[in-house]
Amino acid sequence: MAEQQIFEQELHQIQPQEEAQVLRIVTSWMEEGRQEGRQDEARKLILRFIQQRFPEQVSKFQAQIQALDLDQLDALSDRLFGFESITELETWLREDPAAGDLT
Render pLDDT for 8-32 as a digit per residue (tens, 0 to 9): 777 677 777 777 787 788 888 888 8
**What is the domain extent for residue 31?**
3-95
Q: How far apart are CA 91 and CA 103, in angstroms?
A: 9
Q: What is the pLDDT of residues 48-99, one digit of tens each?
A: 999 998 888 888 889 999 999 999 999 999 999 899 999 999 999 988 655 5
pLDDT band at 103 (very low <50, low <70, confident <90, very high): very low
In a domain, 103, yes or no: no
Residue 100 within a domain = no
Q: Does residue 11 fall inside a structural domain?
A: yes
Q: Reply yes or no on whether the pLDDT at 102 is more than 60.
A: no
Query: Full-prediction pTM beyond 0.75?
Result: no
For the chain, give percent helix, strand, coil, nearest 5.
75, 0, 25
- Report which of residues 41 and 5 the model is more confident about: 41
In a domain, 101, yes or no: no
Q: Phi first, then psi: give them for residue 12, nearest 5 degrees.
A: -75, -10
Number of structural domains (the chain) is 1
For residue 81, being part of any structural domain is answered with yes
Confidence (pLDDT) at 96: 66
Tell me: pLDDT of 37 over 80.
yes
CA distances from residue 15 to 4, 7, 76, 82 in whole angstroms, order as listed: 19, 14, 47, 56
